[in-house]
Amino acid sequence: MNLNELNEQSYTELEDYWVRVFLNVVQDQDKENWVIPYYNTTYSNGQKIIDMNPIFSAKSKINHKSIRIIHETDHEEDDVHYWLDTNGKNELVIICPLSQQHVRKVKGIIERWIYE
């Protein structure tokens, strides 16, 4: 699926999918301690921003860690890339192709980062 094939409904379903994936990882923590989404996902007129940057975001109310997942549809490499943005924040940034095969890897990255 590429960005041109997404409508607002399918985009919302993809966002909801990543929320479920994330909540599955933090199941032992108090889910109420996370602001989801953390980043604004709509324009001022209420229309959804459909650019997959980020497709998911969250921030902990306790330790102030944040996470941002970005889907890239035209990414040459078929792999997951991630780093910690420590420039004034403690944010895990994950970039991955839009593919089911990468979910397990992304979940492991999130889990290690949250519980380190």
Specify the pLDDT at position 16: 94
Report which DSSP code applies to 16. Answer: H
Report which DSSP code applies to 61. Answer: T
Domain limits, the chain: 3-115
Q: How far from chain centre, in Å, is Cα 110? A: 10
Element (H, E) at 12: helix 8-25
Q: What is the DSSP string of 19-54?
A: HHHHHHHTTTS-GGGEESS-S--B-TTSPBP-S-TT
Structure pTM?
A: 0.87
Work out the mean pLDDT of the chain and round it to a whole number: 86
Give me the mean pLDDT over the 51-57 stretch.
92
User: Per residue in 64-95, pLDDT tens?
Assistant: 999 999 987 665 567 899 999 888 789 999 99
